[in-house]
Structures are given as C-alpha cells and as structure tokens.
Amino acid sequence: MCRMPSGPNPPSFACDRNLGRLAKWLRLMGFDTLYLRDDDPHRLLGAALSGRIVLTRRRALRGRPGVVVVERDRALDQVREVVSSLGLEGPLDAFSRCSLCNEPLVEETPEGVSGLVPDHVLATRDRFARCPSCGRVYWKGTHLDRARGTMEAVFRDREP
C-alpha cells in the first residue's frame, strides 16, 4: 500500500492506460490527475518520482514507492478503493478541472460561450466554466447533481 504524502497539499495522481474512467472521476472530484495512455512503465515510475501517486492495474509494480495497484474492475468501485486505501478527504473542489485534459477551469461569461453551447443552455444558465487548454465548456445541468451525489456517497460509504 502507498502512504499518503504528508502536508497541506492535496495528492496528485497518474493513472495508467487501464484506468481512464478512474482518472476522469478523480478530475471531477478536483484532484490533479494525469492519464498516461501509453504502456510505458518508466513513465509511470517517473510520475511517482515527481511526487504523483501512481494508480495502475499492473501487478508487477506492486510494492514500488508511490504506486497503488487498483484491484477493482468497475470505475466507481475503483474510486471507492482509492478513496478508502489512501484515506482521501473530499471531494476537494469538485468540477474545477477539465475532465478531458485535467486543466483547471476558468469562469466564463454567457457572452464568452455564445455559439459554443446550445441556445437553450445559454438562455437558461448564467454560469459557465471553460478549459483554457481544449476549450470545452461546462455548465451546471442535472448530470452535475447526479455526479455530486455519487461523489458524496463514495466519501460517505468508504470501504473498511
């Protein structure tokens, strides 16, 4: 088992290519999470050396410093496993990072997203966020409430 780094900064993660959905959920929860799509174990170990907690399905990396081997198969079960095994508190700052590229989101005005979101969204929402890297636009919809409920359940119903 990997020990949580001490200090006031929240942990950051690097997920291997088999944990893309886990990476997305961690980003939605506000954790800085790289998703390494290639199959290079040296990149994974390099991420651990840089201070990230590496999350992998590769059993051969078990016992390496900074590496957590994720055993569960389903994404939400993986989230529960990571939250429980690392004693994570959260969600940190949910919905503050791009779920695709991990960049912190910036607030955007309705005028700034005009033409980028459906007209009915522009007419019914007044708060938006945008990824400065990929340009994806986010707004509060019903999916946000469901995702927040899922996150709260993950942190409330930790595995023993």
Query: What is the mean pLDDT of each successive set of 10 residues along the chain, which is 160 residues long?
Result: 53 94 94 88 82 91 89 93 87 87 95 93 93 94 85 75
**88-100 residue pLDDT tens:** 876 678 899 999 9
Q: Name the token pair of 79.
A: 């989230």
Phi-psi region of 114 (alpha: psi -120 to 50; beta: other; left: phi over 0): beta
pTM: 0.86
**Cα dihedral 151/93/52/33 (nearest 10):** 70
